[in-house]
Each structure stands twice: as structure tokens, then as C-alpha cells.
Chains A and B, each alone.
Chain A
């Protein structure tokens, strides 16, 4: 199997699996709340419905408005091709680089905020302003927590990081590793618009962050954005799961290793999704002005992770 085909297949898998992950969290939350809930595959029906619908657009919308869904979806797909999901062969640089991932995701968010501002509706502006506040506080944490791992591996390449952790499993339990994981988990919730930062299931337009930016979108455009957002959630989960607990990742193209890789990634995603669902069921949304406090705390965790990894690297 060629490298290109492998990357393509892995990317397609991520794109195909993303709506199910969102649906699974929704379904599990409903069950935890004592409701029956829509089945986990409901988002697929929603996407099909949205793609079949007409897109209604404001007269004041410019090309930015129409370009945004493609940028959001495109950057998510590009990131999907860089993140180790099923396989991460250490002999070749098949998966990507930390900085590419962080800034590609940021590009998507940037365009989402522009798209929100573009129509001039008050909610788009409000959502964009809030999103930028949140993003300004999360992006450094994302980068820093992965740097903590990169320091250990001596490279910002995901393959090298994964290889290093598998070669030396004790580091996975080191303080640097665990702190970085905690930091990344918090920003995952913030970046993907989950509680306690944003409420993905609210209908109250004044409290929205992510939803406020996309309030003007409809039809296929909305479908692309929704799909891109699901994909982003899956990618953050995949990063958290495979960088910090890489066991099970296929290190070669052998069919058996690939099968194990596939099974393990599904299992890891399910565990993280369950954790998020349980967490979201137990907590309320933070007051908006408390969000920076939470994100600053996660930044401090990431910083401690870097310091701890650095010092641990000095001792032997």
C-alpha cells in the first residue's frame, strides 16, 4: 500500500466518522439525562437534509460568507490528513507537524469569525468577538501542551512524538505528560464549543459563541460548517488520545496492525466522548467572564508541563 493511499484512507475515515462522534455524545448525554435521545447516527441524516436544502443568504453577504464554509471544512480535512488516527509509522514522515496543525485550525476559526461578521447581524459580531477572546486564550495552550511532548521527543513531528512515547512508556506517566494532557483536554472543550465554555445545544442566541457565528448559515453551507466542526472535535480527541496514549496505533502497513489501530482509535474516541458526555452532564455553563480564568488555568498547566518536561530532560 502506498503512503498516499494510506493518508487518503485515514483522512476519509476521519471525515466519515466525525458526525457519528458528535451524535454519540448527544445520544449519551440524552441517556444520562434520562431521555431517549436521537440515535448516534442522527447527524448523518441532518447532513443529508441540509445538503438537499436551499441556502438562504443575506443581501449584504460578500464572498467571505460563501468562502468560509469551504475554508472551515477544508482546513479540518487538511488537518485530518496530518493527525495520526489509525497509523503512525515511525520510519517515514507520514503524519504531520504540530505547528501546521495548530495554525490550520486557527485559520478555520479565523474565517468562521469573519463569516460571522460578514453579514453585519448583531449575533454574528457578538459570536465572533467572543470566539476570538476564547481562541486567543486557547491557541497558546494547544501549542504549549504539544511542545511539552515535542521537547521529550526532540521533534515537532507527530510520528517522532508517538514513536518516543511508545519506545519509553514510563514518560507517559510522567508529570509533564499528564499535565499536558489535562491542559489539552480543557482547551479541547473550549475549542470545540462544549460546556462549560459554550453550550452546543442552546437555543438562546444571546449566550451563544460558536452557534452565534453560524446563525446566518443555512443549507449546504451550514452542513459544511457542521461537518467541519464535528471533524474538529474528532481531531482534537484523536490528538489527545494518540499523542498521550499512542498504544494501539499501527506502526506499519500490515493488515493486522491496521485492524488493531482502527479498533483502538474507535475505543479511545468512545472513551473520550463518554468522558465529555459525563462531564457535560454534571456541570453548568460558566459565566462568560469566568471562562478566561479557566483557560488561563489550562495555560498554566501547559506551561508547567513544558517546564517539568524540560527539567526531567536535564536530569539524566
Chain B
């Protein structure tokens, strides 16, 4: 099904959509009345088989007196995207809920409720998501008129679902941990050492990142996008740049797109190598950790040699790259050498029966649960879901690179470990292929004015999974609203399901095998 036939299917359905347009490639944009949101989503997800990948609210009360909520649906197999906007009453905004049939939508709706004060009356879960206990009752940070306030402890504990029964007790962990990691509170209900339920309370790192984009010139947002999640600089910056390019109707030159592939795969490679070592370390096998960190360090130095920055920052810019990169002649050889080194560590680990005993059958995430939660990235691919934005919504130069997407069925920590190894190998192969195809040429297309009031987005498969940046510009060409979706937003809730029936001391191992971002989740 193409975008045209999608548009036709929409028109032929009985759903009241208006202003149907297909501004770019695979995209269909439309407006929808609030009362038609639920039938539309039902039709697009149920009948057409698409999924909701983003919900972004905007405060447009100054210009049009309304709140606008935008929905982005994506169809994996036939690559089309549907963008639907609904205007809500500015004085008493109420949003119909999709939570009944779409779990990720329920999380987006809670986020919108907390950040914009848009009520979602039918929502089954009244608890806050992003909202911190210190925020005043009428404080909605993403409203345009939200200003600096005094913050006090409201003294109320978070309403965790209690688990009862004889011998069941709770273990609260965090948000301050014994190690140097990001803050997250985990509430375990356990029986002896067996986990019956785990609920995570995140959102201790709200930095107002999305708000910080507002009012910036599009070109000035890249540095901020690079810092959304420290280990995903390229992923987020690239999604941001692609969103700006889409809004400006510009495509990056071929050489820049190939270099972007190299940068994104370099990021995937060093993160997967480090994660592999960290998983081994959590089983007490510190040798693998030490060596993976050594290999990671080698890769970071290659990054520095190529771009001048160990974490690949300061290279991407809307329109391409802000300078041409000279790929050294022995670059692919050096990557290959690092991979051979990594493979040796992997072989040592996979031949260690004690280590493998810890990984097998630990933290199993079934395919059904993964699908229902809209799980993304390597976590999804380790649970048998064949999805990858590099193939499903091709960007940069992936369309020409013959990408192989590994998928494993196990769903346990072992599968999530193995899939990282497979993807690291694939990354090295993609880097080599992209380097072969590099030809001299320009790396920057000039970005003109970004069309105001026209939403645009960029989709990237970062190393954790699909990243979406959604932007809309104000009349003066500055950014009016930027919405960022890190794959962790989808993946965090699935962790609880992977834990059920496991024992408490295996939690860190399960958590590490997911390795979700706290910062990317809580913007």
C-alpha cells in the first residue's frame, strides 16, 4: 500500500478527516476532529496495520486559541506515515483516549496530561507519569505561559499498586543507587527472592529539554539534540537534522548521507561493545568487561580521529555535515581489527558455562508482550519482532546498503546479548560498505527558511531503537515546539514483564540487558 492508496482508504472510510495532503514522499497529513480520533486510530492501527509512533501536543492558544495534539502513525511493511492533527478547546482541553487498545498511546496521553494540563477523562490510569511530586498543582511546564515557580515537596507518596498476600513484601530501590548510574526508583514486590511484580518510577531527570528548543533557530538546535541522551549523540542529532531538512524540503547530499551512516554505525558499535562487557560484568565476569572497555576506548579514539570528538559530536548539521570528514585509508581495517578483538572476548564469554548459565532463561520477554508494548530496537529484535527503522523507513543512505536485520526468538538476556554481537558485526560491515561507496562531493545542502506551522519529523534507528524528532516552526522561523521520542519511552514498561518470576539478584542483569536511557526517556 502506498501513501496514495492510504489516503484513498482514509477518504473512503467513514472517518471525518479534512485537509488531506501528501506533502512529501511517503507521508500523508490530515486534520481530524477530536471526536474522530478514536475511530481514526482504530482504523489505521486495526484495519491498515500501522502503529502509533509519536504523539505531540502543542500550545497554540496565542495564535489560534487551541491546543493541538498530533498523532504520527507508521506502517512498517509498506513504509507510509500518517500525520493527523486534532485541535482541542483552549480553555478546557479534553483529549479522547486511545489507551483502550494501544498501550504506548496511554503513556503518551499521561505525558501530555502532565506537561500540558490536557485532561484525558477516559484514561484508565489516573496516576502521573512525568509529573514530579514537587511541582505545584497548576504547573504545566510545556504550556507557553508556564513560568518559574517555587517547588515544594507535596509529601504524598507515589501510589504504587500494592501487592498483598502472606509472605509478600516490598523492596524499594533508588533513585539514589550504590553505583554511579542515572536515577530511577524500582519497587519490587517479592516473595522470598522471587519477583512477583516490579514497578519503576522514573522521571527524576526532567531537564526541560523540549522546552529548551523553543525559540531557537533550527540550526542552533543540533548541539542540544546531541545532548538528549549522552550515548546517543548521533542518533538524536540525526533525527533532529532530518526533521529540519524535511520541514525545509531539502535533502542532504549523497556523501553526507553516507558519512551519516558511518557515524550512526560507529555509535552503535561502541555502545554494543560496551554493553556486552557490562552484561558480563554484572555476572561477575570482570575480564570481559575490562577488555570490552579497552576495545571501546580504541573505537572512541577512532571516533576522535575521524570527527575530532570521542562521542561523535559537533559534526552533524541540518542539511548534511558542517564539514567534510576525511576517512583515513586504514579506517575500515582498524574497525575490523577492533571487531576481531571483540569476537575473541565474545567467544571466551560464550564458552564459559557459568556465565551462560546466568544469561539463559533470565529475564525472558515474550514476543506477545513485546508487541503489545510497542517495544523497539534490539530488545524487540531479541524477542522475535522483525523491526528496524533503517529498513522500514529508510533514511540517510541505508536504502542502498543492503542492510541485514538480525532477529532472535529467545527473548532472554542471552538473546539480548547475542543480538548486540550480531548488530556490532553488521555495523562494521555497513561502515566498510559505506566507506567503499564514498565519492568526493559536497556534504552540505543549504537550508533555507523552515516553513512555519508545518509539522515535520525525522526517524532514525539509533543504537537503542527508533528515535523520532518532531518539529514545528513558528511564524518567525524559530522552533515553536520540538517533541522527542527515545526508544526507551516504549521499552521501559516492558522491563517489568521480563522480570516476573526472576529472582531479585538477577534484576541488575536484566536491567543491563535492556540498558534503557533515563535521560532520553525523561526530557
Residues on A lying within 8 angstroms of B by beta carbon are 29, 32-35, 122, 126, 195-196, 199, 201-208, 215, 281-290
Contact between chains at A34 and B290 (CB < 8 Å)? yes
* A274 vs chain B, min Cβ distance (A): 16
What would 15 A/B residue contacts be, using CB atoms closer than 8 Å? A32-B287, A122-B173, A196-B284, A201-B286, A203-B180, A204-B179, A204-B282, A205-B177, A208-B178, A281-B286, A281-B287, A285-B284, A287-B358, A288-B193, A288-B506
Given contacts A34-B291, A122-B171, A284-B355, contact A207 B505 (CB under 8 A): yes
Q: Choose among A32, A282, A284 the residue that contacts B283 (Cβ–Cβ < 8 A).
A: A284
Tally of B interface residues using CB under 8 Å: 31
Which of B294, B354, B355 has the most chain A CB atoms closer than 10 A to its own CB? B354
Assess whether B504 is in contact with A33, with CB atoms less than 8 Å apart: no
Name the residue on A nearest B503 (C-beta). Answer: A288
Given contacts A205-B177, A206-B504, A206-B507, contact A33 B358 (CB under 8 A): no
B508 within 8 A of A: yes
**Residues of chain A with a CB closer than 8 A to B286's CB:** 29, 33, 201, 281
**Cα-based distance from A252 to B323 in the complex (angstroms):** 80
Other CB < 8 Å A-B pairs besides A207-B282, A283-B284, A283-B285, 18 of them?
Answer: A29-B286, A32-B287, A33-B290, A33-B291, A126-B171, A126-B504, A201-B286, A205-B177, A205-B179, A207-B505, A282-B287, A282-B352, A284-B280, A284-B283, A287-B357, A288-B503, A288-B506, A289-B503
Name B269-308 residues within 8 Å CB distance of A.
280, 282-287, 289-291, 294
User: Lowest 10 CB-CB distances: which A-B pairs, in order?
Assistant: A285-B284, A203-B179, A33-B290, A204-B508, A284-B355, A284-B283, A284-B285, A205-B178, A207-B505, A284-B354
User: Does B49 sit at the interface, judged by CB under 8 A?
Assistant: no
Interface residues of B in 327-372 (CB under 8 A from A): 352, 354-355, 357-358
Measuring CB to CB, which residues of chain B are less than 8 angstroms from any residue of chain A?
Answer: 170-173, 177-180, 193, 280, 282-287, 289-291, 294, 352, 354-355, 357-358, 503-508
In whole Å, how far is B436's beta carbon from the nearest beta carbon of chain A? 33
Which residues of B have CB within 8 Å of A289? 193, 503
Q: How far is the CB of B351 from chain A (nearest CB, A)?
A: 11
Identify which of B284, B294, B504 contacts A284 (C-beta below 8 A).
Answer: B284
For the complex formed, measure the closest distance between the CB of A26 and the CB atoms of chain B, giving whole angstroms: 11
What B residues does A290 contact at CB under 8 A?
357
- Residues A206 and B287 in contact in the complex (CB < 8 Å), given A126-B504, A288-B503, A289-B503: no
A284 touches B178 (CB 8 A): no
CA distance A49 to B89 in the complex (A): 63
Q: Is the CB of B173 within 8 A of A205?
A: yes
Most chain-B CB neighbours within 10 Å: which of A32, A122, A126, A207? Answer: A207
Complex alpha-carbon distance, A203 and B507, angstroms: 13
Contacts of A287 in B (CB 8 A): 357-358, 503, 505-506
- A29 CB contacts on chain B under 8 angstroms: 286
Q: Determine the distance from Cα of A235 to Cα of B49 in the docked complex, in whole angstroms.
A: 67
Residue from B290, B355, B357 whose CB has the most chain A CB atoms within 10 Å: B290
The chain B residue sitting closest to A33, CB to CB, is B290
Residue of A at shortest CB range from B359?
A284
Neighbouring A residues of B171 by C-beta, 8 Å: 122, 126, 206
Residues in A neighbouring B282, C-beta threshold 8 A:
204, 207
* Of B172, B179, B280, B505, most A-chain CB atoms within 10 Å: B505
Given A34-B294, A284-B355, A206-B285 contact (CB < 8 Å): no
A48 to B354, CA, bound (A): 37
A35 partner, pick from B172, B290, B355, beta carbons under 8 A: B290
Q: Which residue of B lies closest to A32 (CB)?
A: B287
